[in-house]
Amino acid sequence: MHFEITNDFLQEVEQLIANKDEKAVLAIFEDLHPADIAEVLDELNFEEAVFVIRLLNSETTSDILEELDEDTLSRVLQALSTKEIATEIEELETDAAADIIAELPDERKEKVIAHIEDKEHAQDIVDLLRYEEDSAGGLMGKELVAVNENWTVMQCVKEMRKQAQEIGEVFIVYVVDDDNVLKGRLSLKSLLTTSTKTLVKDIYVPEIHFVKANDHASDIAKIMQKYDLFVIPVVNELHQLVGNITIDDVVDFIREEADRDYQMAAGLVDDVEADDSIFDLVKGRLPWLILGLFGGLVSVMILSKFDAALIKNKELFFFAPLIAAMAGNVGVQSSAIIVQGLANNIVKGSIWKRLFKEVSLSLLNGLILSALVVSFSLFFGLSWKFGVSIGLSLIVVIIMASLIGTFIPILLDKKGIDPALATGPFITTSNDIFGIFIFFYLSKFLLGF
């Protein structure tokens, strides 16, 4: 029932395409859902994908375009004429249509729009194109069912029949006044259970969550999640109904946002995937590695300043990677907690309270870890003095690392910069440097060299 691509399946399809066996290829794709076909096309090479698309009818192909990943989509669009693209667009809902047109270069954009025969559809798409991608306007579609508050239930049902024939599924019926100002919603339940002569204004539900066209996608995701909404209407400055957002678009956004935070924390610059080309993967990975390398070179310089210690306290050098690693680990933990807290609005209370909490927490962690390190160094045959010195330095390094991990994201957030930027390699690298710096200067002081 749920389709899954296997290597055998792909080989069969590629073989049939190579043989130009149109009938057999059609037979395979005929029964598949457009989302499944898109998944197959993402795996095929460009010529194969275009061969399949040219075979299928435009109703199916438009649904497929909507589901293709960005790389495949832009290549396929290049192979189609502006007229062909317009035919596909004609079949799509406004939000999907706008997303596809947004991928085109400017001159092609205008040509495609000019080719769209349904002028109202074209106007809706043009309207949508002016919003930011991650705003309510960028996520919304123009397809919705709205009824006037002055209508009767009978008029509603009639009008809904007409509107419903033009759009896909109906999940919610909006109620507006004569100026298209959003008043509330009509539940399917009340439509099914009241007499046909009742006026809409007597039965509609005035409580309705809505968002403004310029609201950011992450706020919309929070609202829809908190109030368990499947759809949310979008209004303009005059509170007029301009579109609505369905949860599936928001789910895609949530997933993308989570992936992006995860990738930032792992030190990946671009949205790279396991099956990207080697060149893309290098481009996504190299920048933070270079930063890490420069951080490492700073450590080299710090350590070289202490070569006098090599004779009497060579063990300090054996412990340097341990200290750097602990500083990095603690910093990553602290920054992850604070970044998630900021995203979920649970970082409240004063800076001083948070400072106190972070210091006590690190002190506790530091004491336990230090006890382990001191035991190890004694067992290892090192002096008490050396062991205690390492233990003390470790506590100080852990406290410092957790403060850096906590307050750099808070600072970035206050400045309006995405705090997730400060996770991963950034925190690890800066904590490595500070950790080694503190460790050696403190040891110098404690051990007296």
Interface positions, 80-119, toward a copy of itself (CB under 8 A): none
Our CA angle for 50, 51, 53, nearest 5°, is 60
Please, which contacts does 104-107 make with residues 24 or more away whose CB atoms are closer than 8 Å? 104/77
Residue 111: CB minimum distance to a copy of itself, A: 29
- CA torsion, points 227, 229, 235, 237, in degrees to nearest 10? 20
Q: How far apart are CA 399 and CA 392, in angstroms?
A: 11
Closest separation in Å from C-beta 130 to a copy of itself:
24
Determine the Cα–Cα distance for residues 334 and 340; give it in Å rounded to an integer.
10
Closer to a copy of itself by Cβ: residue 20 or 226:
226
- Residue whose pair of structure tokens reads 């440097």 in the numeric block: 433
Q: Binding-site residue total for a copy of itself (CB under 8 A)?
A: 118
Residue 243 or 405: the one with the smaller Cβ distance to a copy of itself is 405
Is 60 a binding residue for a copy of itself by CB under 8 A? The answer is: no
CA distance 422 to 332: 9
Q: Contacting a copy of itself (CB under 8 A), which of 102, 258, 308, 411?
A: 258
CA distance 291 to 283: 14
The residue within the footprint of a copy of itself, chosen from 114, 360, 383, 445 (CB under 8 A), is 360
Is 322 a binder of a copy of itself (CB under 8 A)?
yes
Whole-number Cα distances in Å, 367 to 40, 391, 392, 401, 445:
55, 8, 9, 15, 20
> Which listed residue (299, 313, 389, 393) binds a copy of itself by CB under 8 A?
299
| Closer residue to a copy of itself (CB): 76 or 186 | 186
Q: Decide if 186 contacts 205 (C-beta within 8 A).
A: yes
50: exposed, middle or buried (C-beta count within 10 Å: 0-12, 13-18, 19+)? middle
Q: Kindly tell me the sign of the dihedral angle through the C-alpha atoms of 222, 227, 231, 235.
A: negative
| Choice between 68 and 122, CB closer to a copy of itself | 68
- In the list 30, 202, 252, 270, the residue contacting a copy of itself (rule: CB under 8 A) is 252
Indicate if the alpha-carbon torsion angle 110, 116, 119, 123 is positive or negative.
negative
Hey, what are 192's tokens? 């099914």
Q: Which of 18, 102, 154, 188 binds a copy of itself (CB under 8 A)?
A: 188
Among 28, 181, 247, 392, binds a copy of itself (CB under 8 A): 247
The answer to the question of residue 205 lying near a copy of itself (CB under 8 A) is no
Q: How far is the CB of 92 from a copy of itself (least distance, A)?
A: 13
**Nearest distance from C-beta of residue 357 to a copy of itself, angstroms:** 6
| DSSP E strand boundaries for 210-343 | 211-212, 231-235, 241-246
Member of 131, 288, 386, 437 binding a copy of itself (CB under 8 A): 288
Q: Which CB atom, from 63 or from 149, has the smaller least distance to a copy of itself?
A: 63
> Binding to a copy of itself by residue 149, rule CB under 8 A?
no
Is 328 a binding residue for a copy of itself by CB under 8 A? The answer is yes
373 binds a copy of itself, rule: CB under 8 A: yes
Q: Which is nearer to a copy of itself, 27 or 372 (CB)?
A: 372
Closer residue to a copy of itself (CB): 125 or 173: 173
**Judged by CB under 8 A, does residue 275 bind a copy of itself?**
yes
371 touching a copy of itself, by CB under 8 A: no
How many whole angstroms separate alpha carbon 335 and alpha carbon 401? 10
